[in-house]
Amino acid sequence: MRPEPRGELDRREHAWVRDAQRGSAPALEQLFRHHWPRAYRAALLVVGDAAAAEDIAQEAFLAAVRALDRFDRRRPFGPWLHRIVVNRAIDWGRARTLRRELGEADAPEPAAPEREPAEYAPRLATALAGLGPEHRAVIVLRYLLEYTPGEIAELLDLPRGTVNSRLRRGLDRLEAVLREEPE
Amino acid sequence: MSERRVQRLLDSTPADEQAEARAWEIVRTAYAQREPRRRPRRRLRLVLAFAAVAALAAAAFSPPGRAVVNAVRRSIGIEHAQPALFRLPTGGRVLVAGDGGAWVVAADGSKRRLGDYAQASWSPHGLYVVAASTNELAAVTPAGAVHWTLSRPKIRFPRWGGTRTDTRIAYLTTSRLHVVGGDGAGDAAAAGVAAAPVAPVWQPTSADRHVLAYVTARGRVTVLDSDRGSVRWISPAYTGPRVLAWSPDGKQLALATRTKVVLFDARTGHTTAVRIAGVRALAFAPDGRLALLNDREVVLRSGTRSRTLFVPPGGRLDGLAWSPDGRWLLTELPAADEWVFLQTRGGRRILAVSHIAAQFGAFPTLSGWAK
């Protein structure tokens, strides 16, 4: 099946946003169903924790709903949502790193076992785990969400050169870990 | 390595359909509740609100009208609510109190009425209940046997704290903070200044000491060693204090005000503010997670990370109680006459129970969930 032309998708998304602003729940659902899988995957690939990814993607959609009336329909919805998702995922990753520095032994005993970590492509998870959240975010924005380095620089408020170097380092790391896996 | 291969690998990451379904429920209800962009004029809104209240009140007094009220409740309640509390979703005993008296609900759903007490709370180990009617304080067993009573005017917010062998009960009379021994002896005013209408809370401890936090009428949080009568620290004044809670390790004290939540270091009184407005209830889980409830949602805070746990389909939520194992959170939806159990670990189930008022004589206030 041929993918839907970008222009047609943009027109439909524009209509969903407009109708959702006017109070149409079905339009909001279309918008949600269309964007959820990539928003969730992006969060999961940055944080590597399924429960946290669900929270981050959910909170991003809630933020979108709360700001829906103020949203400028002339702008595309996707980048706006992805900026929220990826920045929250980076914040989560940083916070977890800081908490780990305090020592796992200091953490309270959980009342029940946490949910098992997501079993997505274990080698990919391992490869990504070797990168910091900022590097993972750049890889995800480039190769999952298909933004150009210039767009990523704008979304993350980074110099273009930093984006390029993070992409390079990320690819090198993925290559090192995944080299033995057949293409 | 080719960029296309990276792309293929990232694209193969599965999306969790159950997570999508859960998130959509929360997003959908938040959307249904959002403020419309164009509001009717203020005067018209007032007239409409008055008319709606009058219509509902009239409806409630006629049998056909009762059906209408029930329909309204159904429309704002949770779908597939159980018609009665058949059992708790996990172990422990829930204590409630209100116009229908104080009740203890066991894990199997059986209920025992303790007496005509409008307020109640558990003793630190759940062995007793301190209950209060307007002018009487009583220590009773969960089976309803009265151990002692104390008559004082206009009793509010009785709270029991201490170790297994030496306990104290704090409560407010009109505006004074009192402390009495767990055996009912030695009742005395504990502070020289008037207290705000906020429940005092005992610092959890394994040591033999009795440290209490309360809010003065001027809105200053005060931590008091009730044995020595000495004040450990006093905070600056906060406007609109609503609720206090200690973390389970006693290292942190949380205060909810109209505009924010303030977390105090128990030793120094140093603060961290959490920007969440309108919090009316907060409760720490046994593992230290903090649940917060405002007019719009239930939020779960773990470390510095917050997530929305539940957005009701309509109406205002009231009260929070953690299950002793920290897996479930109980809240109330009075407008729908429902209790809502929210699973926070090992899954994300939401269980609702309806016809709560009929089961307790009146819609009660949650007073705790003990082992």
Written in H, E and C, the secondary structure of chain B is CCHHHHHHHHHCCCCCHHHHHHHHHHHHHHHHHCCCCCCCCHHHHHHHHHHHHHHHHHHHCCHHHHHHHHHHHHHHCCCCCECCCCCCCCCCEEEEECCCCEEEECCCCCEEEEECCCEEEECCCCCCEEEEECCEEEEECCCCCEEEEEECCCCEEEEEEECCCCEEEEEECCCCEEEEECCCCCCEECCCCCECCCCCEECCCCCCCCEEEEEECCCEEEEEECCCCEEEEEEEECCCEEEEEECCCCCEEEEEECCCEEEEECCCCCEEEECCCCCCEEEECCCCCEEEECCCCEEEEECCEEEEEECCCCCCCEEEEECCCCCEEEEEEHHHCEEEEEECCCCCCEEEECCHHHHHCCCCEEEEEEC
* Cα torsion angle, B174, B178, B182, B187, sign: negative
Q: How many angstroms separate the CA of residue A165 from the nearest CA in chain B?
A: 15
Residue B149 CA: distances (Å) to CA of B24, B134, B318:
51, 13, 29
CB-based contact A59 B308, cutoff 8 Å: yes
**Predicted confidence (pLDDT) at residue B259 exceeds the cutoff of 60:** yes
Of B205-209, B232-236, B330-334, give the range with the top mean pLDDT: B330-334
Confidence of residue B10 (pLDDT cuts 50, 70, 90): confident
- Would you list which residues of chain B are within 8 Å, Cβ to Cβ, of chain A? 1-3, 5-7, 9-16, 19-20, 22-24, 26-28, 30-32, 34, 36-37, 249, 285-288, 303-308, 325-327, 345-346
Q: A1 and A68 in one domain?
A: yes
- The tokens describing B29, both together, are 């209800």
Lowest-pLDDT choice from B39-43, B106-110, B267-271: B39-43
Q: Which residue has the higher pLDDT, B180 or B33?
A: B180
ipTM of the complex: 0.83
**Predicted confidence (pLDDT) at residue A103 exceeds the cutoff of 80:** no
Q: A103 and A174 in one domain?
A: no
What DSSP string describes A11-71?
HHHHHHHHHHHTT-HHHHHHHHHHHHHHHHHHHHHHH--HHHHHHHHHHHHHHHHHTGGG-
pLDDT attached to residue B65: 47
Q: How many angstroms separate the CA of residue A160 from the nearest CA in chain B?
A: 19
Q: A99 and A11 in one domain?
A: yes
**Predicted confidence (pLDDT) at residue A122 exceeds the cutoff of 70:** no
Q: A28 and A87 in one domain?
A: yes
Q: A130 and A76 in one domain?
A: no
Query: Across all residues in chain A, what is the average pLDDT?
Result: 78
Q: A61 and A75 in one domain?
A: yes
Of B174-178, B188-192, B217-221, B337-341, give the range with the top mean pLDDT: B337-341
pLDDT attached to residue A6: 61
- CATH code, domain with A102: 1.10.1740.10
Q: A30 and A112 in one domain?
A: yes
pLDDT attached to residue A5: 56
Output the pTM of the full model: 0.63
Q: Are B350 and B82 in contact (CB under 8 A)?
A: no
Candidates B253, B351, B274, B363; CA nearest to B318 is B363
Q: Which residue has the higher pLDDT, A66 or A161?
A: A161
Tokens 């903090």 map to which residue? B290
pLDDT attached to residue B356: 96
Q: A157 and A90 in one domain?
A: no
Q: A22 and A94 in one domain?
A: yes
Give which of B4, B5, B7, B9 to mutate to test A binding, by max A Cβ within 10 Å.
B9
Which of A74, A97, A117 terminates a domain? The answer is A117
Q: Where are the domains of chain B?
A: 40-76, 93-370
pLDDT attached to residue B40: 47
**Predicted confidence (pLDDT) at residue B351 exceeds the cutoff of 80:** yes
**Predicted confidence (pLDDT) at residue B300 exceeds the cutoff of 70:** yes
Of A39-43, A170-174, B72-76, give the range with the top mean pLDDT: A39-43
**Predicted confidence (pLDDT) at residue A84 exceeds the cutoff of 70:** yes
pLDDT attached to residue B346: 81
Nearest CA in chain A to B347: A115
pLDDT attached to residue A100: 39
Contacts of B326 in chain A (CB under 8 A): 110-112
**Predicted confidence (pLDDT) at residue B75 exceeds the cutoff of 60:** no
Percent of chain B with pLDDT over 90: 58
Q: A128 and A111 in one domain?
A: no
Q: A127 and A75 in one domain?
A: no
Helix, strand, coil % over all residues of chain A, rounded to 5: 75, 0, 25
Range of the domain at A167: 121-183
Q: A17 and A96 in one domain?
A: yes
**Predicted confidence (pLDDT) at residue A31 exceeds the cutoff of 90:** yes
The helix (run of H) or strand (run of E) holding residue A90 is: helix A77-101
pLDDT (tens digit per residue) in A34-66: 999 999 999 999 988 887 888 889 888 988 888
Contacts of B26 in chain A (CB under 8 A): 58, 62
pLDDT attached to residue A181: 54
Percent of chain B with pLDDT over 70: 87
Q: Which of B9, B34, B346 shows the shortest C-beta gap to A66? A: B34
Of B13-17, B273-277, B328-332, give the range with the top mean pLDDT: B328-332
CATH topology assigned to domain B93-370: Methylamine Dehydrogenase; Chain H (2.130.10)
pLDDT attached to residue A121: 58
Based on the structure, what is the number of domains in chain A? 2
Rounded mean pLDDT, A112-130: 57
pLDDT attached to residue A69: 86
- CATH code, domain with A152: 1.10.10.10
